[in-house]
Amino acid sequence: MTQPHSTGAQKAIEVKSVSKSFGAYQALKSVSFDIGSNEFFTMLGPSGCGKTTLLRMLAGFESPDSGSILLNGKEVVAIPPHRRRVNTVFQSYALFPHMTLEQNVAYGLENLGWEQARIKNRVGEMLERVHMGPMARRRPAQLSGGQRQRIALARALAPEPEVLLLDEPLSALDLKLRQAMRDELRTLQRDTGITFVFVTHDQEEALDMSDRIAVLGGGEVQQIGTPTEIYEEPVNRFVADFVGETNFLEVEVLETAGGEATIRTPFGLSITVPATGPTARGRATLSVRPEKINLGNQAQGLIFEGRIVNKNYMGGYTHYTLDVSGTELRASRRNASREGDTIPLGATVPVGFVAGSARVLAA
């Protein structure tokens, strides 16, 4: 039902060669991408990667130094925020403290010139939708973080915007609430069919909620793809490192052919693994996720030996740090049974991974 690649005619947002500098600091370097209609699109990156600047440009609070931004096919760079059919859920929620929840939700509708009766209906409907109906007459100061979050959502969704922008809306919530709100946001997006553009630095959130993710770093788009593409097929070291945990091994590419590369690992074995990007012969990086590395009797695929130099018992799984011929490798093992965590520190065990689960990246 959701299209991983918005290649169809329905593009909600087109960002074309957008650049922006603040003084000497270049926040965005000619960034381009499209966001499809009805998509849950996430901009993921560390702080300072330019994701918030991009979001503020979509809302109209910043304008690009060069490039253009199209909303449903129309250029919007020149349109001020109050005339863009785009609403924002602010990181701070930015609820008006002097207005009741009702008044907060009605505010946008009033400015759009809706009739009183229609506003009243819509406000009631939105408050119900976020389960805040009985609290309509309260003020923001009387709410908990999660409740504020809901009102901010109701207020931003009430005018039926073409695009909803969410600026790290879950960062102020505690862990349990955050998990619940993820599901609620996802449901809300499916039900309303509104394009969501979500900004976060939390890779777990991005993987969990998004149809597609754009990983941003250093003011550039590093990779755009579905959550599985981003996690399993990172195109470069930055993406592999920022999304999830991984082991980087310095390897030598012996031969490349048809998206695969034959490499020599530091511990002397030659294997053929999937490769992304232009991989020439010579030095490259091999990325293997810790959970793809199997230990002991579970070892399979390419097998070698390693010594356990550290272990961290986490309950559901255990993290191991291995020494493989002088190279450090991290592995994690699910504790599927009571006997799960039985490999002692200092033991030398068989270590293995399936060639297809590793990736060669340009060095």
Partner 1 sequence: MSISHDVKRYPGLRPLTAVFFLYLYAPLAVIVVYSFNANRVAGVWTGFSLKWYGSALDNAALVNALKTSLTVAAIATAVSTLIALSAALAIIRGKNLRFRKLSETIVNLPLLLPEIVLAVATLILFSLLDIQNGMLRLVVAHAAFCTPFAFLPIRARLQGMSLDLEEASADLYADRWTTFRRVTLPLIFPGVFSGAMLAFLISMDDFITSNLLATGGSTTLPVYIFSLIRAGTSPELNAIATLLILASLVLATVALLVAARGAREDAEP
Partner 2 sequence: MTDSALHAPAETEHAPRARFWHDLSFWGLLPSRLLMGFALILPIFIIAAVSLATRGAHGGFAWDLNLAGYRQILFNEGWTGELEFTPQYLLIIGRTFLLAGATTVICLLFAVPVAYFISRQPPGRKAALVYLVTLPFWVSMILRVYAWMIILGKDGTLPRLLETLGFPAGMSFMFNDGATLTAMVYTAMPLMVLPVFASIEKLDGTLIEASHDLYGDRWVTLRRVILPLTAPGLTAGAILVFVPSLGAVLEPTLMGGGKQMMMGSLIQLQFGGGRNWPFGAAIAMTLMALVMIFLIVTSLRAARREVAP
- Could you list the residues that contact partner 1 (CB under 8 A)? 59-61, 80-83, 86-88, 90-92, 94-98, 107-108, 111-112, 139-142, 144, 155-156, 159
User: If contact means CB under 5 to 8 A according to the sort of partner, which of partner 1, partner 2, none does residue 32 touch?
Assistant: none
**Three-state secondary-structure class, residue 66:** strand
Task: Tell me how far, at minimum, the Cβ of 44 lies from partner 1, in Å.
Answer: 22
CB nearer to partner 1: pick between 6 and 104: 104
- In whole angstroms, how close is the CB of 69 to partner 2 at the nearest point? 12
Q: Of partner 1, partner 2, none, which one does residue 78 interact with (CB within 5 to 8 Å by kind)?
A: partner 2
C-beta of 57: minimal distance to partner 1 in Å? Answer: 13
Structure tokens at 119: 């506003």
Q: Which does 155 bind (CB under 5 to 8 A by kind): partner 2, partner 1, none?
A: partner 1
Rounded least distance, CB 109 to partner 1, Å: 8
Instruction: State in angstroms the smallest separation of the CB of 111 from partner 1.
Output: 4
CB atoms within 10 A of CB 285: 20
Q: Which does 63 bind (CB under 5 to 8 A by kind): partner 2, partner 1, none?
A: partner 2
Strand-pair partners of 255: 262
**Is-contact 356 273, C-beta < 8 A?**
yes
Q: Which of partner 1, partner 2, none does residue 53 bind to, with CB < 5 to 8 Å depending on kind? A: none
90 contacts which partner out of partner 1, partner 2, none, CB within 5 to 8 A by kind? partner 1
Whether the Cβ atoms of residue 308 and residue 346 lie closer than 8 Å to each other: yes
Nearer to partner 2, 78 or 117 (CB): 78
87 binds, among partner 2, partner 1, none (CB under 5 to 8 A by kind): partner 1
Closest approach of partner 1 to the CB of residue 337, in Å: 46
Cα separation, 295 vs 331, in Å, equals 8
Distances (CA, A) of 72 to 4, 10, 83, 121, 353: 19, 8, 14, 28, 46
- Secondary structure letter of residue 80 according to DSSP: -
Mind giving me the DSSP string for 117-185? Answer: HHHHHHHHHHHHHTT-GGGTTS-GGGS-HHHHHHHHHHHHHTT--SEEEEESTTTTS-HHHHHHHHHHH
Give the tokens for residue 316.
């559901």
When the beta carbons of 199 and 243 are compared against partner 1, the nearer one is 199
CB-wise, 92 or 312, nearer to partner 1? 92
* Least Å from the CB of residue 196 to partner 2: 18
Nearest-approach distance from CB 288 to partner 2, in angstroms:
46
- Chain center to CA of 355: 26
Residue 164 corresponds to which tokens in the numbers above?
């909803």
**Residue 217 binds which entry of partner 2, partner 1, none, CB below 5-8 Å type-dependent:** none
Structure tokens at 134: 């009985």
Closer to partner 2 by Cβ: residue 73 or 277: 73
By the criterion CB under 8 A, which residues form the site for partner 2? 63, 74, 76-80, 83-85, 112, 160
CA dist list (Å): 299 to 24, 101, 146, 250, 306: 51, 57, 44, 22, 11
Tokens standing for residue 80: 């001020």
Query: Which residue number, 61 or 313, has a Cβ lying nearer to partner 2?
Result: 61
Task: Give the tokens for residue 147.
Answer: 């409740």
**Euclidean distance between the first and the last CA atom of the chain, given in angstroms as a whole number:** 37
| Nearest to partner 2 of 77, 94 (CB atom) | 77
